[in-house]
Amino acid sequence: MANKEHLDILTQGVEKWNNWKQNSLVLSPNLSRADLIDANLTGADLIDANLTGANLTGANLTGANLSRADLIDANLNRADLSRANLNRANLNSADLSRADLSRANLNRADLSRANLKSTKIGANTKLDSKWLKIWQILNKGVKDLQSADLSRANLNSADLSRANLSRANLTGADLSRANLTGADLSRANLELTDLIDANLIDANLTGANLIDANLNSANLIDANFTGADLSRADLSRANLNRANLELADLSRANLIDANLIDANFTGANLIDADLTGANFTGANLIDADLIDANLIDANFTGANFTGANLIDADFTGANLNSANLNSANLNSANLTGANLTGANLNSANLNSANLTGANLNSANLTGADLSRADLSRADLTGANFTGANLIDADLIDVDLSRADLSRADLTGANLNSANLIDAAISFNL
């Protein structure tokens, strides 16, 4: 909050304020969060002033000296800053929309995340090239931005469709709700970037750095993330329909409730990722690494997990209907209550896996390793266990009616209360 004495003096007029400022021992007057709407501060001495969060909407600051002033989060909408000295001023996250900066001096000013939409900048405005470039994007439609430094830029809702942002530095930038349809962001640095609700349909993000980026609810249909680093990124509720994430790093990423229908995750790193409730219908996860991943209640209908590493993955309540888990490693995975109806688990490693109450009706487990697996109360009706390893498996109260256990090894298996009606039982006990 503003210092009452300082604010009272300022409201008595610029002349009195400047005299007080010149003779005062106060180096940084506190005017934080002050209500200065439409105030006449022409020629005011505001050097080193604390104007954090101040409301200067429509204020007249013509010729004012704001050198080194702290204007973080200040509202300068429609303010007249013509001929003002803002050298080294901190305008981080300030609203300068429709402000007049003609002939103003903003050398070495910090405009990180400042709103520069419809801001008036003239040929005589002194502005560092980085911020001028950002102003041009927002107000002149500049889209050739290869290797540009746009770190900490406020590009909220900007139109960057088909823009060339290859190798651009967008670290910490605000691109929420921006239109990046078809944009080239290959090898761009988007670490900690805000892309909430952004439109990235058909965008090229090959090899991009998206560590800790926020893509919550972003539209990523047909986007290409091949080899991109999305570790710890937030992709919750994002639409990744048909997106290509081959060899991408999504370790510890948040994909809760994301739409990943027909997406390609071949060879992707999803270690410790949270995929709770995500829709992977028809997705390609061949050779993907999902160690310790959270897949609770996710939909993997028809998904392809061939050769995937799923050690200790949690599939509790997941839908794996008709999924292909051929040769997948599900050692110690939790598949409690999972739906594996018609799934292909040929040669899969399910050693010590928890399949309690799972539905494996008509599943193919030919040659699968189920040693020490817990299948108690599972529905194994019509499942094919030909040549499977069920040594020391827990098959208490399972339904094996019409199941094929030909050549299966059930040494030490517990079949107490199991239903074996019409099962093919040429197995080793």
- Please report, in tens digits, the pLDDT of each residue of the chain (429 residues total): 989 999 999 999 999 999 999 998 888 999 999 999 999 999 999 999 999 999 999 999 999 999 999 999 999 999 999 999 999 999 999 999 999 999 999 999 999 999 999 999 999 999 999 999 999 999 999 999 999 999 999 999 999 999 999 999 999 999 999 999 999 999 999 999 999 999 999 999 999 999 999 999 999 999 999 999 999 999 999 999 999 999 999 999 999 999 999 999 999 999 999 999 999 999 999 999 999 999 999 999 999 999 999 999 999 999 999 999 999 999 999 999 999 999 999 999 999 999 999 999 999 999 999 999 999 999 999 999 999 999 999 999 999 999 999 999 999 999 999 898 888 876 454
Whether the CA torsion 120, 123, 128, 132 is positive or negative: it is positive
- How far is Cα 94 from Cα 110, in angstroms, rounded to an integer? 10
The number of CA neighbours under 13 Å toward the Cβ of 378 is 30
Amino acid type, 387: G
**What are the boundaries of each domain within the chain?**
1-141
Q: Which residues contact 300 (CB under 8 A, 6 or more apart)?
A: 280, 281, 283, 318, 319, 320, 323
Cβ partners under 8 Å of residue 403, min gap 6: 380, 381, 382, 383, 384, 385, 420, 423, 424
Q: What is the DSSP letter of 329?
A: B
What is the CA angle 415-418-419, rounded to 5? 145
pTM given for the model = 0.93
Q: What's the Cα-to-Cα distance from 347 to each of 294, 306, 366, rounded to whole Å?
A: 23, 10, 6
Whether the CB-CB separation of 393 and 416 falls below 8 Å is answered with no
Provide the pLDDT for residue 427: 47
Q: Where are the beta strands (DSSP E) in 79-118?
A: 105-106
Backbone angles phi, psi at 209, to 5 degrees: -100, 110
Q: What is the greatest pairwise CA distance in the chain? A: 103
Provide φ and ψ at 17, rounded to 5°.
-60, -45
Q: CB of 372 within 8 A of CB of 389? A: no
The domain defined by 1-141 folds into: Pectate Lyase C-like (2.160.20)
